[in-house]
Structure 1
Amino acid sequence: MKIADGVPASALKPWLKSYPPHVPAEVDINQYRSLVELLEEAFRKYAGRTAAVCMERPITFREIDEQSAALGAWLQHKGLAPGARVAIMMPNVLQYTIAIPAVLRAGYAVVNVNPLYTPRELEHQLKDSGAEAIIILENFAKTLQEVIDDTPVKHVVLASLGDLLGPFKGRFINFAVRHLRKMVPEFKLPLDHGRTVTRFNAAVAEGSRLSLRRVECKADDVAFLQYTGGTTGVSKGATLLHRNVVANIIQVEAWFKPVLDKLGDKQLTVVCALPLYHIFALTVCYMMGARLGMKNLLIPNPRDIPGLIRTLRNYRVNMFPAVNTLFNALANDPEFAKLDFSELVVSNGGGMAVQAATAEKWLKITGCPVVEGYGLSETSPVVTSNRLDLTQFTGTIGLPIPSTEVSIRDDEGNEVPFGQPGEICIRGPQVMAGYWNRPDETAKVMTADGFFKSGDVGVMDETGYVKIVDRKKDMILVSGFNVYPNEIEQVVNMHPGVLECAAVGVPDAKSGEAVKLFVVKKDPALAEEDLMEYCRENFTGYKRPKYIEFRDELPKSNVGKILRRELRGSQ
């Protein structure tokens, strides 16, 4: 069905009349040929500025420039071909800020890996991406040890928490982490088949004696493989080209700039509590942060709320991107309310729905409204955002950002009238090139006219504001992370005591949604704890079922398909 005498709403772009002053409808996304060009400009322009701080240790843009060039040269010296994939498996530590540009400047693609992945999850990602090298924090080396022989990984760069914290503090931190807090499980990475294992500082030192070979990165070269859950239960890599991420940086900057400019030309400080392996933090905190010369406060463990608050006491922050879970935890801690929020101008929420009660508490404490946006790994990620000059929470995901079109469509691909629900479809320069090595899966989500089908159901009003009302897919959203029921079910069905199962999302006050597992037993002796333990071994934390319910049978359609919607409705 068309709108306004046959003209689709996406062609009318009703959102433009709702734009704040000084935000353009279109942006010039060709300012850089690649992310390398963008980063190297930042290294030159802001050389003396602090780029990031972690555990009270600052690192300047100049240091990142020098050490990433050295690490990049070291990787090149290992003989990796142009376009090779290099995995990074770390929390938010200083080494991450060096590893990203090192890989890109060397002419390779970054494969971001959740450091809490189980061996099964890690093995799939390394094999699927074809990663030949990995930069990993030693705390997670035991996981790598269990699968490395079944992956293409030939070179391991092993980082430790104290690497860049100075000789005295670094040694103390490493001793405490390894021996007092027992945070580094014993590991022994095999060195057969020509594999190398090199300590991070040693690799940088070796690389500093080599020359980084200049690689002409092109706009259509692969920059990142961002893995997302698959409807088939198989995690897929969203192929993000240099031009995709560059475009999203320019788009988001155009949206933020009118508000940020009010602070003058001083250096801005952004809280990077979201993990850098997540596309939200990667683009908004790291990449846009570099473009604007910001200081990133790296938070390795955002679940440590007292530790996070202690860090925040030392700074007047200007930008605070987070998910609802983190906003809520902080807003409910009395110590957080004692901080200085006088220069906080952007609190941007994404990854999961921000709850109105959380937004109200946050505004009351900080004086800065939570501005909700929307995006996906496949869109680099930002698609829509609320205006930053709003004084209250809207409950919508906002307006399409510059150079972005959103079309709300029915199952036949027709645009629906304003106020009617349909699938949110997105067209713009930030949309991925496709799923890595999966043209069949790519074809399922791309329309003939170039729109990406998000799988989310939304409505758009006459002013261009979009609201999510449902999900077309059965995806479960846990603290901003996608959990796909098919993956959970495939793995749980391999347990010898399980006849069949179904995973659904149920409301959860803390994480938005939680995974609930419905199970029909094959072995009558199967206990809930047995299955919970099995899930702990096979899934990273956010994917693990929080609830397990045993049933005699599961509801099915006439053709035998398990009806998850009925199970959700029975809660």
Structure 2
Amino acid sequence: MQTRIHHAMNGAATAQPDALAMIDFADQAYSWADLAAASAEARAVLQDRGVGPGDRVVLVFENSLEACAFLFAISQLDAIAVPLNARLTHAELDRLITHSDPSVVVFCHAASEAAVTHGKAYSARSERGRYGAVGLFQRRGNRPEPCSDDPNEQVALLLYTSGSTGAPKAAMLTHQNLISAAEATVKVRGMLSEDVTFLALPLSHIFGLVTFLSICGSMGKVRLEARFSVERLFAALQRDVTMLPAVPQMHALLFHYARGQNKTSYEGGCLRFVSSGGAPLDHVWKREAEAFYGLPLQNGYGLTEGAAGVCSTQNQLGDPDVSVGYPMQGSRLQLDFDAIGANPAEGIGEILVAGPQVMKGYFRDPEQSARVLTKDGFVRTGDLGVFDAQQRLHIVGRSKELIFRSGRNVYPAEVEAALTDHPEVIMAGVVGRPATGNEEVLAFVKVAPNCRLCEEDLAAFVHDRLAPYKRPTRIILAQKLPVAPTGKILKAKLISSFTDQLLREVTV
């Protein structure tokens, strides 16, 4: 029985030590025995620094063997991992290190000049072993957290939510949270030991992390990319990749790249599972994706506080369903029709989730924990949803992102779906901005390279797709939008990122 996340790695290393486990960003191959040996050395390094049960260990990295080895080493010591993306600014990183109060900070050097730079700022001491090359910074005075043999109680990770603003907010995910999430992922994807998963999603994000743990649980193989490269994805699909979990932007970039290579469909022959998460699906875009892959595009929904997967579809090719499907193994859903942004008349309410994947709470923040965790075991997601006639869940948007225009609710997700229906639009973010006596709808879209679209073209495109009060007041076209490492648009930064353009164009 697995009671810690490293047990899956140990099981694979025992059952098939010489089998391929990982091909990294530099095309270096590692077996399960290699991963176990690297993790054992990482454990010894941490023990030498006095890391023990309940201590936090911050990992600053981009996807690499080092990150995986130290993640499992921390689990073996009953310490608590704090995965942070190396692409954070120094100010952001320093704030999260202070908040998580670690005993040691590990800067993983592989494929990350940013991690090396951060390590130098902390005067980290360089170490090298079978795990690779890292920098270590030791802190003093940290206070260990309580420990338990019970995997439902023992915290494995502190994971900072990508939507956090103001004070840092770290979800405490237990070993059982992560084990349950990984098991549910294996089941819904039908993962096998012979599968090869292309994983460019960062392991510092719950989507990428649980995908990696599910690969370990199924004793499969992973092509672990430090950063997303559409060229590497295209090449890997021609070789051996059987599973492709990704965010919509990755799929969209692949389609545009393939067209540039005069390819209108996938020709590799190995792929058997494709999924999308993180943004709403449009009927037309879904048909385009399925025509390219020749496979059903499965959709899903999850959140950090729920250890990633909450719902997933298991549709057949050609099914027009664009919901996020039914609850995954062990998850339970409710809708709160009294929440902000709810519309009981249309069946729209805030989504509440319960089950073995739901976090223990926020790290050293009982007030925030009490706000989102109900007494009967549900977590408030802040997302708005509705069930269809088949009881499949559809995501409408975020309650805090709801736009009130002319006395009516505008759900950004609906406007974004209309915009991304255009073949030259890769991604879109919609936000509200106060206007005199009202609120206006602003849309920001990332367009394909060499695109000749203008604002008027897109306004005309969505005219018949959206009711008048839902149509954007402005549509800003760009080659780049502010995004998190997963590719998720950082909506809080949209207006500030394009202030000059908004002002300039408004006054013309």
Normalising by structure 1, report the TM-score. 0.65
Whether the 8 Å CA contact 2:60–2:107 is kept in 1: the answer is: yes
How far apart are 1:32 and its partner, in Å? 2.0
Of 73, 87, 92, the match for 2:63: 92
Of 377, 380, 393, the match for 2:304: 377
How far apart are 1:314 and its partner, in Å? 2.9
Please give the secondary structure, in 1, of the residue aligned with 2:71.
helix
User: C-alpha separation between the residues in 2 aligned to 1:458 and 1:429?
Assistant: 21
Whether the 8 Å CA contact 2:193–2:218 is kept in 1: the answer is: no
Whether the 8 Å CA contact 1:396–1:465 is kept in 2: the answer is: yes
**Aligned residue number for residue 157 of structure 2:** 224
User: C-alpha separation between the residues in 1 aligned to 2:447 and 2:283?
Assistant: 14
CA gap of 1:159–1:122, structure 2 versus 1, over 3 A, is farther
CA gap of 1:109–1:127, structure 2 versus 1, over 3 A, is same
Please give the secondary structure, in 1, of the residue aligned with 2:299.
strand
User: C-alpha separation between the residues in 1 aligned to 2:18 and 2:152?
Assistant: 28
Give structure 1 stretches of 5+ with no counterpart: 1-30, 150-154, 165-169, 171-188, 196-214, 486-501, 512-534, 553-571
| Aligned: 1:433 with 2:360 | yes
Task: Show the 5 A alignment for 1:442-461.
Answer: 442-461=369-388
Of 531, 548, 552, the match for 2:499: 548
More strand by share: 2
Of 301, 306, 320, the match for 2:231: 306
| Aligned: 1:254 with 2:191 | no
Whether the 8 Å CA contact 2:103–2:139 is kept in 1: the answer is: no
- Could you list the per-position Cα deviations for residues 359-382 of structure 1 after superposition, in whole angstroms to 9, with x for gaps in the alignment? 322211210122110000111110
**Aligned residue number for residue 519 of structure 1:** none
- Could you list the per-position Cα deviations for residues 11-42 of structure 1 after superposition, in whole angstroms to 9, with x for gaps in the alignment? xxxxxxxxxxxxxxxxxxxx422213233212
Please give the secondary structure, in 2, of the residue aligned with 1:113.
strand
How far apart are 1:294 and its partner, in Å? 1.0
User: C-alpha separation between the residues in 1 aligned to 2:19 and 2:63?
Assistant: 19
Aligned-partner residue type, residue 246 of structure 2: A
| Aligned: 1:287 with 2:213 | yes
How far apart are 1:156 and its partner, in Å? 5.3
**Aligned residue number for residue 333 of structure 1:** 257
**Aligned residue number for residue 211 of structure 1:** none
| Aligned: 1:52 with 2:22 | yes
User: C-alpha separation between the residues in 1 aligned to 2:353 and 2:395?
Assistant: 14
Please give the secondary structure, in 1, of the residue aligned with 2:184.
helix
Aligned-partner residue type, residue 248 of structure 2: N
User: C-alpha separation between the residues in 2 aligned to 1:78 and 1:382?
Assistant: 35
- Could you list the per-position Cα deviations for residues 67-105 of structure 1 after superposition, in whole angstroms to 9, with x for gaps in the alignment? 101111220121123121111222122222222212211
User: C-alpha separation between the residues in 2 aligned to 1:190 and 1:374?
Assistant: 36
Aligned-partner residue type, residue 508 of structure 1: V
| Aligned: 1:320 with 2:244 | yes
User: C-alpha separation between the residues in 2 aligned to 1:35 and 1:503?
Assistant: 47
How far apart are 1:218 and its partner, in Å? 4.0
- Provide the aligned length of Structure 1 versus Structure 2: 421
- Could you list the per-position Cα deviations for residues 452-487 of structure 1 after superposition, in whole angstroms to 9, with x for gaps in the alignment? 110011101232201111211239999999x9x9xx
**Aligned residue number for residue 464 of structure 2:** none
User: C-alpha separation between the residues in 1 aligned to 2:386 and 2:265?
Assistant: 39
CA gap of 1:71–1:368, structure 2 versus 1, over 3 A, is same
- Could you list the per-position Cα deviations for residues 26-73 of structure 1 after superposition, in whole angstroms to 9, with x for gaps in the alignment? xxxxx4222132332122123121111012211011111111011112
Please give the secondary structure, in 1, of the residue aligned with 2:257.
coil
User: C-alpha separation between the residues in 2 aligned to 1:461 and 1:542?
Assistant: 27
Whether the 8 Å CA contact 1:136–1:156 is kept in 2: the answer is: no
Greater relative CO, 1 or 2 (CA 8 Å, sep 6+): 1
**Aligned residue number for residue 562 of structure 1:** none
Give structure 2 stretches of 5+ with no counterpart: 142-147, 403-411, 421-425, 432-438, 449-481, 504-508
Whether the 8 Å CA contact 1:373–1:397 is kept in 2: the answer is: yes
CA gap of 1:36–1:266, structure 2 versus 1, over 3 A, is closer
CA gap of 1:272–1:222, structure 2 versus 1, over 3 A, is same
Task: Show the 5 A alignment for 1:269-288.
Answer: 269-284=196-211, 286-288=212-214
Identity of aligned residues (%): 23
Aligned-partner residue type, residue 307 of structure 1: R
**Aligned residue number for residue 496 of structure 1:** none
Aligned-partner residue type, residue 506 of structure 1: A
Please give the secondary structure, in 2, of the residue aligned with 1:455.
strand
Please give the secondary structure, in 2, of the residue aligned with 1:244.
helix
Aligned-partner residue type, residue 217 of structure 2: R
How far apart are 1:141 and its partner, in Å? 4.1
Please give the secondary structure, in 2, of the residue aligned with 1:464.
coil
How far apart are 1:417 and its partner, in Å? 6.9
C-alpha RMSD of the superposition? 3.9
Whether the 8 Å CA contact 1:36–1:217 is kept in 2: the answer is: no
User: C-alpha separation between the residues in 1 aligned to 2:202 and 2:234?
Assistant: 17
Residue range with higher mean Cα deviation, 426-435 or 46-55: 46-55
Normalising by structure 2, report the TM-score. 0.73
How far apart are 1:509 and its partner, in Å? 4.3
